[in-house]
Homo-oligomer: A and B are copies of this chain.
């Protein structure tokens, strides 16, 4: 494993409500020096949750995605609140976005998103033994909940509105988890 580069300087070069851009001056172990820019996430982590109302079904949501200006199918996700574990945050997000809590929550993997320039990390949780419970969310409109058969997960890949790498990774990790059960 190579020796980590030395971080000679980190400074904030832009800050908005959501985004915090840093410039880093790095010295690599071979002596090369470079400036990198990265987006710094808040201290709170993020979660993505796969709700399973029964062993054959997952729940997706259809939500407006401002980055690509279209409605996308994806698994519910959101930021963790202070003091929450990943599973607690997953349960709350699920109550807000699909109207269910879960009694059986398991952490499948911690993702990075684009580790070259984002510090952002996300925990993937699968939720089973669901029960109805709705919490108010902060969405501008009601989210459409779309049940999907676990035997048809492959079909999602070919859709133009299921493009998010984290959701594709999630169905792979879910299949792997279910096979090992």
Q: Given A17-B37, A37-B18, A163-B112, is A118 in contact with B67 using a C-beta cutoff of 8 Å? A: yes
**Stretch of A68-76, A98-106, A126-134 that contacts chain B:** A68-76
As a 0/1 sequence over residues 51 to 92 of chain A, the CB contacts with chain B under 8 angstroms (1 = contact) are: 000000000001111111111101000000000000000000
Point out the residues of chain B lying under 8 angstroms from A62, CB to CB: 1-2
Stoichiometry (number of copies): 2
Nearest-neighbour CB distance to chain B for A105, whole angstroms, equals 19
Q: How large is the interface on A (under 10, 10 to 19, 20 to 34, 35 or more residues)?
A: 35 or more
Nearest-neighbour CB distance to chain B for A18, whole angstroms, equals 4
Point out the residues of chain B lying under 8 angstroms from A16, CB to CB: 13-14, 21, 23, 37
Q: Bound complex: CA of A69 vs CA of B18, how far in Å?
A: 21
Partner of A141, one of B30, B66, B168: B30
Query: Which A106-138 residues sit within 8 Å CB-CB of chain B?
Result: 109-122
CB distance A117 to B67 under 8 Å?
yes
What 7 A-B pairs come out closest when comparing CB atoms? A172-B172, A65-B115, A14-B14, A168-B169, A32-B140, A165-B166, A18-B37
